[in-house]
Every structure is written in structure tokens, then in C-alpha cells.
A and B are shown apart, each in its own frame.
Chain A
Amino acid sequence: MSEGAAITREIFLGLCSTSRIVFYSLSFISICFFIWGIRQRLKKYYSGKSSGGISNTLGRVGELLKLSLSNMTIIRDDLYSGLTHLLVFWGFLVLFVGTIIIFFNFDVVALMNRKWTFWHGSFYLWASFLLDLFGLVLLVGIAMMMLRRAFFKPQRLDYTRLDRDPDTYSRTKYVVGDWLFLSLLFVVGVSGFIVEGLRIAITQPPYSSWSFVGRFVAGLFPEMGTAAYKVLWWTHSLLGLAFVAYIPYSKAIHMLSDLANLFFKGRVTGEVPSLSEDELDFDKLGYMELKDFTRKELLDLDACTKCGRCHISCPAVISGLPLSPRDVVLDLRDFLAVKAKTITLWDSQAGSYKDEKLVGGIIKKETLWVCTTCLSCTEHCPVFIRPLPLIVKMRRHLIEGGFIDEGVQDALINISECGNSFGESSTNRGKWTSELRFDVKDARKEAVETLWFVGDFASFDNRAVEVTKAFAQVLHLMRLDFGILYDSERNAGNDLRRIGEEGLFEELAEHNKAILDECQFNVIVTTDPHSLNTLKVDYPNLNHPVLHHTELLNELLKRRQIALKRKLPYKVTYHDPCYLGRYNGIYGPPRDIIRFIGVEFVEMPRSRRNSLCCGAGGGGVWMRGENYGKERLSNMRIKEAYETGANCLVVSCPKCLVMFEDALKGMDLDGEFVVKDISELLLEALQE
């Protein structure tokens, strides 16, 4: 045996062969528990509907490695918790790999040929060093997490519900589960170091400085002897094996389910599923049973670690309304735990409410109607869980039962009878063009370069029509060849789909698609991010690019030499509309245009992906319900804009504009403060 071979450690120091047999048997049992738990999860997923196949496997693997190894989606919104998670993640990962290497060396390689073993010499020394280092990293991370939970108590870890009275529900199991997970991992780590320390104290290897933590611990317990070592060895081993068995039944499953969720994450985060066959045939819209969920949805639910990022970034929670995306996800998961008879360890509050019914019971009707579909929850979820499709599917159930706000009902009837939510005659759709000094082409009658899909608010709302005319004038000034569909256009259906009126959406989409197919044009433009989103995401085979007006204007400004005629006196801030920003990632073009106009520009604290919804989305703009919670979102947002010192809030969505103008009427702000669309601002700067 070479000298290097002597540099190693004994895995079963001082333990008799019976002990070894007991250890291996217990390991086997632990792994059986683990496999059974995983099987229980997989069985649940496979009782769901197929989510369709996945493509680009290699790209997905790359994305998975990037996101998981860097923890970037955890770090970006919360540095402290992100870094602690990074420490725990890497600590656990290295220790796990170390354990696998040891197993491979002693239980695979050694059985084939003792000469091939490698757990000695410099490999062993480096491995010892790394395992000690990352073990320490793990413990520091867990300790920091515990500190955060016990003393910093951030709002997002507070399980208080907004939709129920405090004495009607319990979250004790969740809290116990959180602490059990952290403590178990911590105790496994600490006991590991003590075992190592005692071993070093007994064997006194000359190279122990490589195992620097172990050596430090050895200094603390120099005289403990082998009996104590054996007790500690067993303690550590049993805890470790218990932890393995515990993983699939607890929140520790997130180590696997989150990786799976990152791998399977959807391409378009704001997507809403089409109706499935059985939803078409039966009076069974929404969720009733396990089989009503898709596999991806079931995985989404299991991926939640209750981190609460969605909770604190949800406009409903911010305004104190009875909805939290976190609670929707957890309620659904607990509901399914009962349906699938899942065994969990302090990870489910199932059965804490007597209600058996899901929609209108466990999840209240008002909870579902509060959602503005702003997508902030998914945007802030580190593992891209999507509460939106779940909420939309449950809304379909409410629509089917006719449980809707009167304002929404009026809008839906108007849309089905007149094609627009205002209940106006279709012939008035192009009425605004008569107020211009030039003609707007009829895209149905002649070919145009750009087809402008105007949308309901931009066609019929008095204030929004001002913007529509301004944009038309800008296009005219830039000599762009454009036309509109006049009375053939119908509501694009974005919000209908997200309200859950899927049937009406289908009819509108079919109509609009047919008209668009008859027209000749190169590109579609719209000032309405809602129409933009649905045309881009929900309409099948449109075969034409769809641009938002800020994208088109930005392109035109870059391509053509356009001279500004006026310096504008505003100090502006910009509000990112949900359907433009979070849904379609368009953050740059509006800002580029503002920079081009040359006005002073300040960002609001909540901007870009953190933008606060104006409250219009998901049918909010139609709702007559007077419950705004603590304060209307649009009021809050105007205050936020005003506090930046700006005197002009620039928007790029007709619905945001209408919401803000409405809120502004009831507010008493000092001095001049206006809301303008970006095309109004541009037109002002381009005119003498």
C-alpha cells in the first residue's frame, strides 16, 4: 500500500459488523421511504391531465443549471434571503456530492476492486477540506435563515390570511414544518461536525488541519473517548437517514420539485390554457377533482415553499383585499392532498376548514374576482409558479354559474351584443377619425403597411380617444402608411379570457382573426397592451408581428430624422402597464422615447417588473364593486408618481390612463399634475 493510501478516514470507526448491517438496513429502509414518497408525488402528477410535450430539452437543461446553480431568481428581489439560500444550496449540494462519492468509493468501487478506490491521499485531503468548508457554509446559511425567521420576521413569512377571520383557520402546521426542516438540517450538520471532531480527537491524524472545522471541534472535546463517539455517530447517521426519508413528505421536496419546475417552466408566463375537451362537454368548468389539473399545474403547486414573494408583491395584498396568490396555491395544494390522500409531515393544513367545495368554498368567490391578472406573482416567484391559470380556470366556474359583478356582466353582455364593452354601435368605432384633419385608411378596402388594431377603450372612451387621435397625428406626421378596421373590429378578448369567459373570447378571436386574414398589411400595431398581449399570445397563427405603439414609435424615431419643435416643461415619471411590461417584457422603448423627447425623467420606486398594477386588468376596469381595500391601487400609484417630484405621469395603456384620470379627479394634489400617454407627449414635442 502506498503512503497516500494511509491518508484517509475510517467510515465505520470502531463499529462492529452487526452495527454495519444495522446501518445498511436502516439506509435501505430510509431510501425505501424516500422512493415511496417520490412515487406518491409522481402518482399524483400522473393523475393530472397531460400538459403536452416539451421541446428544446437541451436549452431547458442549460436554463435549469443557470437558474439553480446561481440562485439568481432568489437573490434578485431579496439579497439577504437569496444569499442565505445560496449558502445552504451550495453547502447541501457539496455535502450531498461528497456523500455520493464516499458511497461510490466504499460500496461500489471497493466491491469491484479494492485497488481502484480513491478515498485517500490528496483526493481525500482536498475532499475533507471542501466538505468541512461547505458544511460550515451550510450551517452559516441555516443559522442566518433561523435568525430571519425568529427575529427579523419579514412580512412575507407572515402566514396571516386576508380572506379569513383569524379564528377560522390554522397555520400552525406550516410553521412547525418550516422549523422542523431548518432544525433537522441544522442538527444533521452540527452532529456531523461533532462526530468528525471526536474521530479526530481519537485518531489524531497528522493531516487533520485539512479538516479544519473537525479539528477545531476536536479541541473542544479532547477526552470524550470512543463510547461517546459511537453515540454521536449513531445520532448523526440516524438523523441523516431520517432526513432522507423525510424529504418527499415535507417542504424539503422543494429541492426536487423546484428543479423540476425550473426545467418544465412555460415559455410564455402569462399564458392562459384553452378549454380542454371535458370542459367543453360538461357542466364542469373549473376544478373539481385531481384529474381537472394539468400535470404542470400539480407540479407548480408542489413547488411552492411559502416564501411569500408573490404575497407581498400582489396588488390585492398591498391594498388589503381578500386574495393572496400564496394562499390560493397553498389552498389548492391542501385540497389536493385530501383528494390524492397524500401523506405529508407538517406540510399541509388540509382539513382545517370544514368546507369541502373548492370554488366558492375553500377559495372564495370574492377572492377570485379580486385578481387583476397583473402577473406580479409569477414575476416574483423564484421558480415561476403560475397562480394565474389556476385563478382563470376557477373563474370559468364562476362565469358558468353566473356569479359575477354587475359591472362585468354589463360589459360581457355589451361585448356579446355590440362587440365592445361600451355597448356602443360598431359603426361608431371609427368615429374619432372624423375629428382629424386627414383621412384614416380603411384597411379592409386597401392594403396598408401598418394595421392599427385600436381596441375598445381607445375607440370609445372620451379621454382615451384623445390619445388615439394624438397617435394618429404622430403617425401622419411621420408619413406612415396605416389603416384601421373601422366597424369590423371587435374587442380583442384579452380580459374576457382572463375573466374566464372563454366562449365569448373564442367567438371574438375567430371574428377578428377572419377580418385580419382578409386584409393586406405587414405589421399590426396597437396602443392597448391588453389587445397586444392577446393578439400575440392567444390568437393562433396570426402570421404577422404585433407591435405596441411605443415599439413602433421608437423604431420610427431611430430610423427617421425627426426634429423636435418644442422643449416640454414637464418632469415625468413612467408607469409600466402590466400587459406591456411583465407580460411582454417591453420596458425599453417607452423610456427611449421619453429620453428622445428630452424631458426630465425620474423612475418611481416600483418600476419595470416591480410596477404596481393600476387595478384595471382582469375585468377590474368594469367592476362596480366598491371594495377597494385600504386604498384604490390607482390612487396609490398616483401618490407614488407624485412623490417622485414629477408633474406628469406618462402611461402607455388606455386602461391605465382611464384609471389614473379617474383617480386624479378625487385627489387633492398641490400644483399641476397630469397624466398623459406617451404619444400625446411626443405629439406636443413635434408640434410648433
Chain B
Amino acid sequence: MEVFVCLRQTAVVKEEPKIQPDKKGVDLSGLKRHLNEWDAYALEEALLLTQRYGGDVSVISLGPKEVEDVLFHGLAAGAKKAIHIFVPEREQIDNWVIANILSREIKKYPFDLILTGAQAEDDGCAEIGATLAQLLKIPHASLVMKVIYEPDAKSIKVERELEEGYMDVLRLRLPALLTIQTGINQPRYVSSLRLRRFKKAGTILRVSFDELISEAGDVYPKKEVVRLYPSRPEFSKVEMLGGSPEAISDQLIELLISKGVL
């Protein structure tokens, strides 16, 4: 079973994100990057499936030079092939372009299954998986929590997570694309030494974005960000009350009186 996993590199955001001056994006400078959380589960599921049923995992990602970090992570975790579609920083692309480019590249190889995270931590769009499936004309299931391979029928049975604790069981003819929900497995730990070793000795197949774009013809972004802004009210002052429950309630009463609430 040949499995492709599409990986996305996202920024590790631990505090209030800084919005760029043009209010169209987040300032990512100085932030650490890591593998999108949902994609980590997709990668693990692919590795588990090939461990169980044979075959290899290939990882693919697109973006600037830095995204090779997540590809090396994929190799260190057990993927056999890594493909990097190098996109220069100046290029303005959206998920439509990404899905198009990915489909162009993936089509060149034999595959039974494509896995990717149900969504990305940063934009949360959940659209690349679905779009890619459409472009490749293969069946798609989203928010997958369980995958069972049925080699004789050349199909897979998947369980999808619905709201209110309901599960949806589907059978998909292969090849197929699944977007994976977190919690489906426990992604393996890749030690920093192992990662270091793969960064030193691992090989990544580098593919030109421009070539793929010209192959694809007139693929251009169809969406643009108009504005990015925080929707919740901004608190001018937050004061933490401390001490025993009695002390906290006393302070709270005093505060409420001083503000004229009581």
C-alpha cells in the first residue's frame, strides 16, 4: 500500500499573535515552526498502515526552504520518500493553488491512499484535502478516526467523527484521500538526535514550483485575505485576585463596590 502524506509547516504560537501592519496576516518572524498538529496524526496513521499492510510512505510539502524541516521529520519518523516543492517567498498562493500543485506532483507516482490533517492550525480552512481529492477525482472522507484496509476489495473502511459522539462508517474505493482527525493515534516521538541524523544524511527530492505551475496552465489564486482582526473585545486591564477563598471574595466585594456595581 503506497501512501502519500501532505505535510504543512505551521508556526508555534503560544501567545497573542502579532498582526502584520497591512492587517492581512500574522507576523511569523521569530516564531518557531513545527509540523501542523493534524498532519502529525496523518503521518502516524500512514506509518501504522504501512507497518501493518506493507508498502511505503511518501511525504510531500510545499513552501520555502524551511518546510524541509517537517519533511526531515517525516523521514526520521519512517517515511521512505520526501518531496519538497520549493515556493519562493514572493509567490502569492492560496489553498487552491497548493491543491493544484500537489495534485500535479502526486499524479506522477503510483499511490493507493493520500492522508493529510483535517485542517491546519493556522488558517483552519480544512480545504486542501477536499480540493485535492476533487482534482485527483478520487473519493474523500474527512475527520477520520479509524482506518481499516480491505486489500481483497481494494477498499478501505473508515470511521468519521460526527457531532454529539456519533460515528459514521464509510467504505471508500481505493485510491482515496482521507483527512485525519487528532486523537486517531499517538504520533511517535522523533528524538532530536534522530532528526539531526536525517537532516545530515536524509535525501529530499526537490521539485520546481514554476515548472509545475506552467504545466498546470492558468492556475492562480482565487481568494485573497481582506482583513485579519481580533473579534473579541480587548480588555484594558486584567487583575488577578490572589489568596484564600475568603480573601478573594473580600477583595472582589471591595472592587465591585468601588466600581459602583454594588
Q: How far is the CA of A412 from the CA of B194 in the complex (A)?
A: 14
Q: Which residues of A from 418 to 456 have beta carbons under 8 Å from B?
A: 418, 423-425, 427-428
B186 touches A504 (CB 8 A): no
Asked if residues A503 and B192 are in contact (CB atoms below 8 Å), the reply is yes
Max chain A C-beta neighbours (<10 A), residue from B15, B193, B196: B193
A400–B191 touching, CB < 8 Å: yes
Contact B188 A402 (CB under 8 A): yes
What would be 16 A-B contacts, judged by CB atoms less than 8 Å apart?
A280-B197, A399-B189, A399-B191, A402-B188, A402-B191, A404-B189, A417-B32, A424-B14, A428-B15, A501-B191, A502-B193, A503-B191, A503-B193, A503-B195, A503-B196, A507-B192
- Is A406 interfacial (CB-CB < 8 Å)? yes
Q: Which of A275, A418, A502 contacts B14 (CB 8 A)?
A: A418
| B253 interfacial by beta-carbon distance below 8 Å | no
Inter-subunit contact B196/A412 (CB<8 Å): no
Query: Does A294 touch B at the CB level, under 8 Å?
Result: no
| Residue A409 CB within 8 A of the other chain | yes
Q: Does B12 contact A (CB under 8 A)?
A: yes
Chain A residues lying within 8 Å of B189, measured Cβ to Cβ, are 399, 402, 404, 409, 412-413
- A427 and B193 contacting across the interface, CB-CB below 8 Å: no
B12 in complex: contacting residue of A280, A418, A427, A507, CB < 8 Å: A418
Chain A nearest Cβ from B144, distance in angstroms: 21
Chain B proximity of A523: nearest CB distance (Å): 31
Note all chain B residues with C-beta closer than 8 A to A502.
193
A-facing residues in B23-60 (Cβ within 8 Å): 32, 34
B192 near A425: Cβ-Cβ < 8 Å: no
In the complex, which residues of chain B have a beta carbon less than 8 angstroms from the beta carbon of A285?
A: 193
A417 touches B12 (CB 8 A): yes
How distant is the Cα of A406 from the Cα of B34 in the complex, in angstroms?
18
Task: Please give 9 more A-B residue pairs, beta carbons under 8 A apart, in addition to A280-B197, A409-B186, A418-B14.
Answer: A413-B189, A417-B12, A417-B32, A418-B12, A418-B32, A424-B14, A501-B191, A502-B193, A504-B192
Interface residues of B in 157-192 (CB under 8 A from A): 186, 188-192
Does A416 have its Cβ within 8 Å of any Cβ on chain B?
Answer: yes
Q: What residues of A have a CB within 8 angstroms of the CB of B188 in the complex?
A: 402
Contacts of B15 in A (CB 8 A): 425, 427-428
B195: A residues at CB distance < 8 A: 503
Q: Is the CB of A425 within 8 A of B14?
A: yes
> A408 to B32, alpha carbons, bound, how many Å?
21
Contacts of A504 in B (CB 8 A): 191-192
**A402 x B193 contact (CB < 8 A):** no
Query: How far is B15's CA from A428's CA once the two chains are assembled, in angstroms?
Result: 9
Q: A402-B189, A424-B14, A425-B14 are in contact. Are A417 and B196 (CB under 8 A)?
A: no
Q: Is the interface on chain A under 10, 10 to 19, 20 to 34, or 35 or more residues?
A: 20 to 34
Q: How large is the interface on B (under 10, 10 to 19, 20 to 34, 35 or more residues)?
A: 10 to 19
B residues near A417, Cβ cutoff 8 Å: 12, 32, 34
What separation, in Å, do the CA atoms of A204 and B193 have in the docked complex?
Answer: 78
A418-B12, A418-B14, A427-B15 given as contacts; is B190 within 8 A of A402 (CB)?
A: yes
CB of B199, distance to nearest CB on chain A (Å)? 11
| Majority secondary structure, B binding face | loop
Q: What residue of chain A has the Cβ atom nearest to residue B44's Cβ?
A: A402
A502 to B192 Cα, complex, angstroms: 8
**Complex Cα distance A402/B32, Å?**
22
Complex Cα–Cα for A413 and B197 (A): 18
Q: A-side interface residues toward B, CB under 8 Å?
A: 275, 280-281, 285, 399-400, 402, 404, 406, 409, 412-413, 416-418, 423-425, 427-428, 501-504, 506-507
Chain B residue with the shortest CB-CB distance to A424? B14
List A contacts of B192 (CB < 8 A).
416, 501, 503-504, 506-507
Distance A657 CA – B37 CA, assembled complex (angstroms): 33
- Chain B residues within an 8 Å CB radius of A412: 189
B33 to chain A, nearest CB (A): 9
Q: In the complex, A504 Cα to B190 Cα: how many Å?
A: 11
In angstroms, how far is the closest chain A Cβ from the Cβ of B107? 32
- B126 → chain A closest CB, angstroms: 23
Question: How many angstroms from the CA of A271 to the CA of B252 in the assembled complex?
Answer: 52
Encode B187-230 as 1/0 by CB contact (under 8 A) with A.
01111111111000000000000000000000000000000000
Query: Residue on A with the closest CB to B15?
Result: A425
Q: Which B-chain residue is minimally distant from A496 (CB atoms)?
A: B192
* B184: min CB distance to chain A, Å: 14
- The complex places the Cα of A425 from the Cα of B11 at a distance, in Å, of 13
- Bound together, the chains give a CA A413 to CA B190 distance in angstroms of 9
The minimal Cβ–Cβ distance linking A298 to chain B, given in whole angstroms, is 25
The list of the 3 closest CB pairs from A to B, nearest first, reads A503-B192, A503-B193, A425-B14
Least CB distance, A218 to chain B, in whole angstroms: 72
Which one of A412, A423, A503 has the greatest number of beta carbons of chain B within 10 Å? A503
A280–B201 alpha-carbon span in the complex (Å): 12
Q: How far is the CA of A402 from the CA of B47 in the complex (A)?
A: 13
Interface string of B57-90 (1 = CB under 8 A from A): 0000000000000000000000000000000000
**Alpha-carbon distance between A281 and B198 when the two chains are bound, in angstroms:** 11
Q: Smallest CB–CB gap between A199 and chain B, Å?
A: 69
How far, in angstroms, from A32 to B255 measured CA to CA in the complex?
Answer: 91
Task: List the A residue with the shortest CB-CB distance to B191.
Answer: A399
Q: Which residue of B lies closest to A406 (CB)?
A: B186
- Smallest Cβ-Cβ distance to A505: which chain B residue: B192
Contact residues in A for B196 (Cβ distance below 8 Å): 503
Give chain B residues whose Cβ lies under 8 Å from the Cβ of A427. Answer: 15
Chain A residues, CB < 8 A from B193 = 275, 280, 285, 400, 502-503
Give the residues in chain B near A399, CB-CB below 8 Å: 189, 191
Tell me the bound Cα distance from A427 to B192 in angstroms.
24
Q: What is the CB-to-nearest-CB distance from B37 to chain A, in angstroms, rounded to a whole number?
A: 10
Q: Residue on A with the closest CB to B186?
A: A406
Cβ–Cβ < 8 Å partners of B14 in chain A: 418, 423-425
Q: Distance in Å from the Cβ of A469 to the closest Cβ of chain B?
A: 11
- Within the complex, what minimum Cβ distance (angstroms) separates B41 from chain A? 14
In the bound complex, how far is the Cα of B189 from the Cα of A416, in angstroms? 12
Q: In angstroms, how far is the closest chain B Cβ from the Cβ of A26?
A: 56
Give the nearest-CB partner of B240 in chain A: A435
Complex formed: what's the CA distance from A216 to B197 in Å?
75
> Shortest Cβ distance from A602 into chain B, in angstroms?
28
| Bound CA span A425–B31, Å | 11
- Report the minimum CB–CB distance from A634 to chain B (whole Å): 24
Given the complex, which residues of B lie within 8 Å of A416, measured CB to CB?
192
Q: How far is the CB of B251 from chain A (nearest CB, A)?
A: 15
Interface centre among A280, A406, A416, A501 (most CB of B within 10 A): A416
| Distance A285 CA – B12 CA, assembled complex (angstroms) | 30
| A280, A402, A404, A504: most-surrounded residue (chain B CB, <10 A) | A402
Q: B4 CB to closest chain A CB, in angstroms?
A: 22
Cα–Cα distance between A406 and B188 once the two chains are bound (Å):
9
What is the bound-complex CA distance between A275 and B189, given in angstroms? 19
The residue of chain A having its C-beta at the shortest distance from the C-beta of B188 within the complex is A402
Point out the residues of chain A lying under 8 angstroms from B12, CB to CB. 417-418
Q: How far is the CA of A417 from the CA of B32 in the complex (A)?
A: 7
Report the minimal beta-carbon distance from A57 to chain B, rounded to whole angstroms. 36
CA distance A428 to B12 in the complex (A): 15
Q: How far is the CA of A249 from the CA of B14 in the complex (A)?
A: 61
| Closest-CB distance, A396 to chain B (whole angstroms) | 8
In the complex, A280 Cα to B191 Cα: how many Å? 12
